[in-house]
Structure formats: C-alpha cells, structure tokens
Amino acid sequence: MSLKDRITEDMKTAMRGRTNPDEAQRARDAAHLGTIRLLLAAIKQKEVDERVELDDAAVSTVVEKLIKQRKDSITQFRAAGRADLVAAEEAELAVLQTYLPEQLSPAEVEAAVAAAIAEAGAVSAKDMGRVMGLVKPRLAGRADMGQVSALIKNRLAG
C-alpha cells in the first residue's frame, strides 16, 4: 500500500471514529481528521500543480514541508506566549510525523555523512554542495536535513 493510500485510509478511519460519545475524545478525533485532510489537500495541490501522480518519496517531501511549517509556527507561537496555538500545532505535528519513515539514529546519520564526505573527496566548506547532493537522496525523510547540513559544515570546517 502506498503512503498516499495509507493516508486516505487513515482519513476514512478517522471519519468513522467520530461517533465517540466522549466530548474530549471527539475533539481530538476532529483535530486528527483535520490534519489528515490538510495533508491530503497539500498532496492533491502538488499533484495538480505538477500534473503528476506523486510517489511515496514525493509524498514524504510534502509531509516534511508541513512538519517544517509546524515547527516554525510552534517557535513563533512560543515567542508570542500563545500556549493554545502551540498545543494545536504540536498535535498536528504529532499526526504528521506518523507518516514519515523511521528516523535514523545520530550515529547512522554521522556514518552516512562521513561516507558521503569520503566519496566526494571533500576537504573544505567549498565542497559542501557536492556532499549534500550525495547525502540528501540517501537520508531524505529519515533525518532532519538542517541538522545534516550543520553536521557536514562542522566536519568540513574542522
């Protein structure tokens, strides 16, 4: 089953689960369903814009983009003292993260970065683009690319 199909099935399940008599649970179900609908809308928009059927890798990219948006929003809402909005964004973030592949451990990320640096023959910060070009397809969706970039920069600077 493709990732997009799994998301669609999860939406159907969430829609069926809205008969729960508990008010708090019903509110959580509605928020969960809303997040899934938001994700499906983003996927559909990308498909319409590019006139293609998205594969799992492209769907993961959409999920990652939405996750990054939520993280940025959480940071801004915390700075503004809006705990209510922080909680809503964190709930959406938790739902979105369930659609990413299993994340690599820091040791696995470091090993992949070291291998890419060796493969590219990188020796200075000028070679960072080449290293990122090698490592991004290998780690996409399985590691925070911002942290990977910082790791590469540290390795090449030192």
Element (H, E) at 81: none
Task: Identify the CATH number of the domain defined by range 106-157.
Answer: 1.10.10.410
The domain made up of 3-97 is a member of CATH 3.40.50.970: no
Q: Secondary structure of the chain: what % helix, strand, coil (to 5)?
A: 80, 0, 20
Kindly report the pTM of this predicted structure.
Answer: 0.76
What pLDDT score was predicted for residue 125? 85
What pLDDT score was predicted for residue 31? 85
How many CB atoms sit inside 10 A of residue 90's CB? 14
How far apart (Å, rounded) are the C-alpha atoms in residues 135 and 116? 6
The domains of the chain are located at 3-97, 106-157
pLDDT by 10s per residue, the chain, length 158: 899 999 999 999 888 875 555 666 666 678 899 999 999 999 999 999 999 999 988 898 899 899 999 999 999 999 999 999 999 999 999 999 999 888 899 999 999 999 999 999 888 888 899 999 999 888 877 888 888 999 999 998 86
